[in-house]
A and B are shown apart, each in its own frame.
Chain A
Amino acid sequence: MFDTLTGRLARTLKNLRGQGRLSEDNIKDALREVRVALLEADVALPVVRDFIEHVRARAVGQEVMQSLSPGQMLIKTVQEELTALMGERCEDLALNVAPPAVILMAGLQGAGKTTTAAKLARWLQERKKKSVLLVSADIYRPAAIEQLRVLAAETGARFFPGSTDQDPVQIAQAAIQHARTQFADVVIVDSAGRLHVDDAMMDEIKRLHQAVQPVETLFVVDSMTGQDAVHSAAAFNAALPLTGVILTKADGDARGGAALSVRHLTGKPVKFLGVGEKTTALEAFHPDRIASRILGMGDVMGLIEEAEQNLDKQKMENIAAKLKKGKGFDLTDFRDQLRQIRSMGGVGSLMNKLPGMGQVPEAVKNQMNNQDTRRQEAIINSMTPEERRKPGILNGSRKRRIAAGSGAEVQDVNRLLKQFEQMQRMMKQMSQGGMAKMLRAFKGRLPV
């Protein structure tokens, strides 16, 4: 749907080749493309203006580095500026106070405060070994308190019950008192969603903030927010001394330009990224990566890190050892690979993180969804160990049995075998010619 910035620039910058210096003239069109890309990523207009001015000032007169084309030089400048604007490093929560440390969540309706509160509780428990008490000060939305109670039970955090006929401030204060006697390290106060123009409700959250004296006041913002991010962020920042921002629903295909707007307007660091519906789906925020995402360049670092975390190194080493010994890559190994791909969030999630993959049509991505890897695994599971070792013995009758056993069609079995053969060939190339050769083979196969 959206052209990546790199793609856009490639077109504009064709006539810019061979120039040794970036000038006001030769980057004018390119900067216009950058502007469109930022606008399409939902970066707020005033922020775009400031930013473009900044880039222009820096880029003009720059020598083009020998290894780069002028276009790449400009992209490099843009990315550096974006990263600088987003903050240089990933910021942690400041919880070094006498317990209980209070965290207050604030934001518009439907931003994802309650879900994020639960995710944060889980993160604090698992990564920081804190004991967490959750409390909901949302007496307005039906069943909001119940929602947090269920989520708290799911994450193993403690929950302080309030009721809708109480004052939000009283509920929060009682929860903190309770946390003190029960020695909880952190209290997370979830607040009701409110519009930044609703004076009565903004007053209420000011009172709430005053009463609970949080060490962290986190503004929760939907990564799909449009130009309005300017107004809401500015209003919340004016009403409350925010200490950070959490960007939610970042697992979709939104570019998350709102992150840039909010950061620019409030000067507060984005601390976390919500990336899914489960309570584990919270990631520390890395400014450089979101910069790439806004520009449509892919999150390569994130991919590498995730791969390191999730790949079962032992299994990979086993495969490597097997290949070295000259034994073939068999269907059992193929199944291990499928499982690992799934544990990393599926093929789609992998592709989203690769540079240039922005151009892969949605339809292609959809074809490679998790459902397929699961089905393929089922097919392999329905084979006997011998068949997995020697797929050559699979005849029509065996295939029919496997298809029936895994609830698939014979065509599906054939398709799987074909994919397996391709993979096998690639593995062979890898063991013979190394990585470079394999990458070349891989490149030809991707519809970029």
Chain B
Amino acid sequence: MLSFKKPPPSGNTGLTGLARLKQGLARARSGLGAAFAGLFRASAVDETLLEEIETLLLGADAGVEVTQTVLHSLRTRLALGELPDGAALNAALRAELLAMLAPSAQPLRIPSHIRPFVILVVGVNGAGKTTTIGKLAKQLQQSGHSVLLAAGDTFRAAAMEQLQNWGARNNVPVIGQPQGADSASVIYDALQAARARGADVLIADTSGRLHTQSNLMEELKKIKRVVSKLDPAAPHEVMLIVDGTQGQNALAQAVQFHQALSLTGVTLTKLDGTAKGGIVFAIAKKLGVPLRYIGIGEGVDDLREFDAAQFVEALFGE
């Protein structure tokens, strides 16, 4: 189990990527995985076993549709006699889940010819946008990029202070205006500043908003429009932050945000608890938007690139 030191430790605790991910997802594994481990020792595959798989997938927030798709495919193969025992079922299930995620697991790359590279971060209230931005900025900085932040959350009380406090601690400049300012103009200013200072990456925070509030979704469209006036290709990345503890509504969120903004990336946060983040299957299946990162803790290194194989692997454990 990961023990969290707060405020977040900036140093690496010395674990390799896979080990950290596995630790972060340890509880997911002990929940889903342990139950599976027993199942897969079964010498014959029967309906009860499939029902157990259904239960476990639903319990992981995978949703009814995805669960039924997986089960349908397993049942078909079962009928064809391709799954003689628990081990074969295990392999088939993993392959099935992996196939759903693999095409979408595309890490974020900052091409050297785009300067500044603009990342617009969006999501519902409390998804973890600002925290993720902090971690992402630090990682980009560590990999040698100069980073500038735009405090585009002009609605929530002290949102700018939150980002500024963080920026001051980590030597990342933050461009902001007082609460109530126009978000689009803050980000526009920040992009101009990023150009003037020759920054490599600009990460723009936005206020959390529910996807059903059409006026606030319009505001996001406006931000995108305004930014593209300075650079027609910007924002180069529109990243949706999805709270991993959320259930089926996360899919509705992804669909709505995608419709409004044409997302180019999704990051899944808060996977260090007992939540399993199964909704990511539905998001990948429905939208095919690249899955960028997962958040598995509060430390800087707890933002990991999304790796489909590791995700499925860590979900099951050995």
Q: Is the CB of A222 within 8 A of B27?
A: no
Binds B, one of A50-58, A192-200, A288-296, A427-435: A192-200
Quick one: given A1-B255, A112-B126, A196-B273, are A142 and B245 in contact (CB under 8 Å)? no
B215-253 vs A, Cβ < 8 Å mask (1 yes, 0 no): 100100000000000000000000000010111111111
Quick one: given A1-B255, A197-B27, A249-B210, are A231 and B246 in contact (CB under 8 Å)? no
| Cβ of B307 under 8 Å from chain A | no
Interface size range on A against B = 35 or more
A350-372 vs B, Cβ < 8 Å mask (1 yes, 0 no): 00000000000010001001110
> Which B residues lie within 8 Å of A36 (CB)?
64
Q: Is the CB of A110 within 8 A of B126?
A: yes
B271-306 vs A, Cβ < 8 Å mask (1 yes, 0 no): 011111011000000000000000000000000000
A251-B156 Cα distance, complex, nearest whole Å = 17
> Which A residues lie within 8 Å of B279 (CB)?
226
* Cβ contact of A143, chosen from B155, B165, B210, cutoff 8 A: B165
Q: Is the CB of B273 within 8 A of A147?
A: no
Interface residues of A in 202-239 (CB under 8 A from B): 222, 224-228, 231-232
Q: Is the CB of A252 within 8 A of B249?
A: yes
A150-B1 Cα distance, complex, nearest whole Å = 37
| Cβ of A19 under 8 Å from chain B | no
| Cβ of A63 under 8 Å from chain B | no
* Cβ contact of A200, chosen from B4, B124, B125, B247, cutoff 8 A: B4
Q: Is the CB of A251 within 8 A of B212?
A: yes
Q: Is the CB of A141 within 8 A of B162?
A: yes
A202-B85 Cα distance, complex, nearest whole Å = 43
Binds B, one of A37-45, A77-85, A403-411: A37-45
Binds B, one of A67-75, A253-261, A298-306: A253-261
* Cβ contact of B214, chosen from A224, A251, A348, cutoff 8 A: A348
| Cβ of A88 under 8 Å from chain B | no
Binds A, one of B33-41, B52-60, B88-96, B185-193: B52-60
| Cβ of A109 under 8 Å from chain B | yes
Interface size range on B against A = 35 or more
Q: Is the CB of B252 within 8 A of A143?
A: no
| Closest chain B residue, CB of each to CB of A231 | B274
Q: Is the CB of A110 within 8 A of B3?
A: no
A42-B253 Cα distance, complex, nearest whole Å = 14
> Which B residues lie within 8 Å of A196 (CB)?
273-274
| Closest chain A residue, CB of each to CB of B243 | A110
Closest chain-B Cβ to A255's Cβ sits at a distance in Å of 8
Q: Secondary structure at chain A's binding surface: helix, strand, loop or mixed?
A: loop
Q: Is the CB of A226 within 8 A of B162?
A: no
Q: Is the CB of A197 within 8 A of B157?
A: no
Interface residues of A in 116-158 (CB under 8 A from B): 140-144, 146-151, 154
| Cβ of A277 under 8 Å from chain B | yes
> Which B residues lie within 8 Å of A42 (CB)?
61, 247-249
Q: Is the CB of B125 within 8 A of A277?
A: yes
Q: Is the CB of B247 within 8 A of A227?
A: yes
Most buried by B among A147, A196, A222: A222
Q: Is the CB of A226 within 8 A of B247?
A: yes
Q: Is the CB of B179 within 8 A of A109?
A: no
| Cβ of A201 under 8 Å from chain B | yes
A43-B84 Cα distance, complex, nearest whole Å = 34
Q: Told that A254-B252, A369-B215 touch, could you supply 18 new A-B pairs with CB distance under 8 A? A: A1-B252, A2-B248, A40-B64, A110-B126, A195-B4, A195-B273, A196-B273, A196-B274, A200-B4, A222-B126, A227-B276, A232-B273, A252-B124, A252-B249, A254-B249, A257-B247, A258-B247, A370-B215
